Amino acid sequence: MPTTNRPTFADFKQKALQNKEVQKEYDALSPLFAIKKQFVASRIARGMTQEEIARKIHTSKSNISRLESLNNTYTPNLSTLMKYAEALGMRLDIGLR
């Protein structure tokens, strides 16, 4: 069976980030993606569903899904992020570097 030399995602990303505009957008979205990944990982580690988080912060499951989605650039407000963290039994820390 012949193999194809299809580029991997890592190859695509490396090439794309050579473009200064792409790199600028990537850097701008990086903190948002990082917090979304942390929320999902923490929720799963605690054995919680999106529905449970939604109930605790008085919103809908679809809002939690949108907040967690890496394919959506929805930017939640700070109070939503704080409520989500509290629903996990955690605290949101924000700092400047």
In a domain, 56, yes or no: yes
In a domain, 13, yes or no: no
Domain containing 56 equals: 20-87
Q: Is the predicted pLDDT of residue 3 greater than 70, yes or no?
A: no
What CATH number does residue 57 fall under?
A: 1.10.260
- Confidence grade of residue 61 (pLDDT, cut at 50, 70, 90): very high
Residue bearing the bigger pLDDT, 50 or 14: 50
Q: Is the predicted pLDDT of residue 1 greater than 60, yes or no?
A: no
pTM over 0.75: no
Q: Is 48 helix (H, G, I), strand (E, B) or coil?
A: coil
User: pLDDT value at position 2?
Assistant: 58
Number of domains forming the structure of the chain: 1
Distances (CA, A) of 4 to 1, 8, 35, 80, 82: 10, 11, 36, 45, 46
Mean pLDDT of the chain: 89
The answer to which of 13-22, 47-56, 79-88 has the lowest mean pLDDT is 13-22
In contact, 71 and 80? CB cutoff 8 Å: no
